[in-house]
Amino acid sequence: MDSFSLLLSGFADALTPANLMWCLVGVVLGTAVGVLPGLGSSMAVALLLPLTFLLEPTAAFIMFAGIYYGGQFGGATTSILLNTPGQSSSIATAFEGHTMARNGRASQALAAAAIGSFVGGIIATTVVAFFAQSMVAFALDFGPPEYFALAILAFASTAAVVTSSPTRGIAALGIGLAVSVVGIDSQTGAVRMTLGIPQLLDGISIVILTVGLLAVGEVLHSGFRPDGTAGGSVITSGTPWLGKTDLRRSWLPWLRGTLLGIPFGAIPAGGSEIPTFLSYGAEKTLARRRGHSQFGQGAIEGVAGPEAANNSTSATTMIPLLGLGLPISATAAVMLAAFQQYGIQPGPLLFQNDADLVWALLASMFLGSFFLLVINLPFAPLWAKLLRLPRRHLYAGLLVFATVGVYSAAESIFDVVLLYAVGALGLLMRRYGLPMAPVLIGAILGPLAEGKLRLAMAASQGDPTVLFDSNIAIGVYTVLVLIGAGFLAKAIRDGRRRDTAPQDGVLSHR
C-alpha cells in the first residue's frame, strides 16, 4: 500500500485551491481547443504548452492533465455533433455518435461519451498509479515482431469487423496504406511517392487526412443529398440526459472499452486507434449476436465503448511516458518536451527522483477526469443545441473550421489544398460506398507495420520465422486466425442464405 500513501500525498498537492483552478482552466481550454476540428488534444497541449511554462512544475502538469482530458473530450464532441473527429482516436466515436445526433439523440451520445471518458479515465489512472512499475516491465517485452503482429491484427479487424463490407474495407485499407508510404522513408531517407512535390516530403499528415475525408468530404457530399439542397433544415437536439435504457445499454460497453484500452496505452503500439476500433468492433459484434443490433441507426454502445477505450488508453499512455521516457502519442511527445523543459528526465528512475511531481500528476489525472464529467455533462444538451443551426451554416462553419484548423497547424496553404483534395476523395468514396475507417487505420498504422517488419527482418538477417518467434506474437496471430475463421463461417452462411434468397447478400459473395 506504499503507492496508496504516495497517491494520497499527491492528492494533497493537487487539491490546493490554486492547483484545482489550474486543472479546471486546463479542462476548459482543452475542451475548447479540442472542439475545433483538426485541433485534437495533441494540438491543444502543443498550443497551450507555452502557457503552462508560466507556472511552477506541479501546477503546470496539473493544468496539462486537464488540457489532455479536455482535448480528448472536445474531440468526441465534434465527432458526435459534426462527424468531424479532431483526432484519430475519436474516429470510432463519430460513426454511431453522429448517427445518434442525427436521430435527435445528441445529448445522450455526448453524455455516454462524457461518462465513458470518466469511467475509462478513472479506472485506467488507478491502474497507472498502482501498476505502472510492473507494466513497464511487460511493455519492455515488446519487440518489432510483436508490434508487427498487432498492426496486422488491427488491419484485419478494421477491414473485416468495423466495416460491414469486408471487400470494400480491404480496398479502402489499401488506399490508406498507399497514403502512408508517401514521404521520406524514415529508415533509409529514400524519397517515396511524392510525385516531385516538395511539400509531400514529410508525408501526408493524419490530421489532414482525417479532417479531409470525414469533414470536407461530408460537406461536399451534403450537396449530393436530396435534403442537402434544403439547407434551411435543422436537426432536433432531442431530450437531454441518459434514460434508464441508455444507462443499461452503456455500462457494460464502458467497462469493456476501459479494459480494452488499458493495455494498449502501456504497450507502444500507435496510440488509441487500435483499442477504439477494437472496442467499436467488439460492441458491434456483441450487439449483432444479441439479435437487436442498432448499429447503423445510432447505437449508444458504439459511443460508450470507444470513448471509454480512448480515455483509458490516454491514461495508460503515461506508463511508457513516465516509466520509459517513451512517448506513444503525439500528445505524450509534447508532454515529454514539457518534462524536459523543466529539467526532468522521464524514465525508470523518475518514480524515485521526482516522486512528488509524478504523484501530483497522477492525482491531477483523477481530478481532470472528474472535472471533465462535471463540466461536460451539464453542457451536453447545450452543445447539442449547436445542431439547431441551419444546416447550410453548420456545413459552412465546418468547412471554415476545418480549413483554419489545418492552415494554422503549419501555416501552409499547400496543406489546405491537400485538405480539399482529400475531401474530394472523401466525396467520391462516399458515392461509391467505400468505408473511411480502414483508410485512416491504414495510414496511421502503415508506418508502424512497415517499420517494425523491416526492423525485425533486419535483426534476423532476412529470416521470416522471427515474426513468429514469441508467445505474444503467436497469441496475436491466433486471435487473427480465429477472427478469420469466424468471418469465413459467416460468409459461407450468408452465401447459403443467398442461394435460398437470390436477391440478398450480394457483397458477402466472393
Partner 1 sequence: MTTAQPQKNELSEEESDSRVSRPSSDQAGSTLAIAFFAGVPAVLLLLGSMLMRVPEASGFLGPRFFPVAVGIFLMVTALIWTAWSLHRKRSHTRGSIPKTARDSTADNEVISESDNQVHSNWRTLAIMATTMVGHVVLLQPLGWLISGTLLFWGVSYALDHRRPFFDLCIAAAMAGTVQLAFSGLLDIALPAGILGKVL
Residues 6+ apart with CB under 8 A from 304: 112, 113, 115, 116, 249, 250, 253, 254, 257, 283
Residue in 79, 147, 73, 158 with CA at minimum distance from that of residue 116: 73
Closer CB to partner 1, residue 47 or residue 139? 47
Residues 320-333, buried b or exposed e (16+ Cβ, 10 A)?
bbbbbbbbbbbbbb
Q: How far is the CB of 459 from partner 1 (least distance, A)?
A: 9
Closer CB to partner 1, residue 295 or residue 371? 295
From CA 39, how far away is CA 257, in angstroms rounded? 24
Residue in 350, 335, 444, 430 with CA at minimum distance from that of residue 63: 335
Q: How far is the CB of 503 from partner 1 (least distance, A)?
A: 8
Q: How far is the CB of 279 from partner 1 (least distance, A)?
A: 15
Closer CB to partner 1, residue 104 or residue 325? 104
Q: How far is the CB of 129 from partner 1 (least distance, A)?
A: 33
Hey, what's the cell of 8? 494520497
Closer CB to partner 1, residue 142 or residue 420? 420
Q: How far is the CB of 464 from partner 1 (least distance, A)?
A: 10
**CA pseudo-torsion sign 341, 411, 218, 172:** negative
Closer CB to partner 1, residue 188 or residue 471? 188
**CA pseudo-torsion sign 44, 45, 50, 55:** positive
Q: How far is the CB of 171 from partner 1 (least distance, A)?
A: 4
Look at phi and psi of residue 362 and say left if phi exceeds 0, alpha if psi is from -120 to 50, else beta: alpha
From CA 61, how far away is CA 56, in angstroms rounded? 9
Closer CB to partner 1, residue 185 or residue 469? 185
Q: Are 258 and 419 in contact (CB under 8 A)?
A: no
Closer CB to partner 1, residue 59 or residue 429? 429
Q: How far is the CB of 53 from partner 1 (least distance, A)?
A: 14
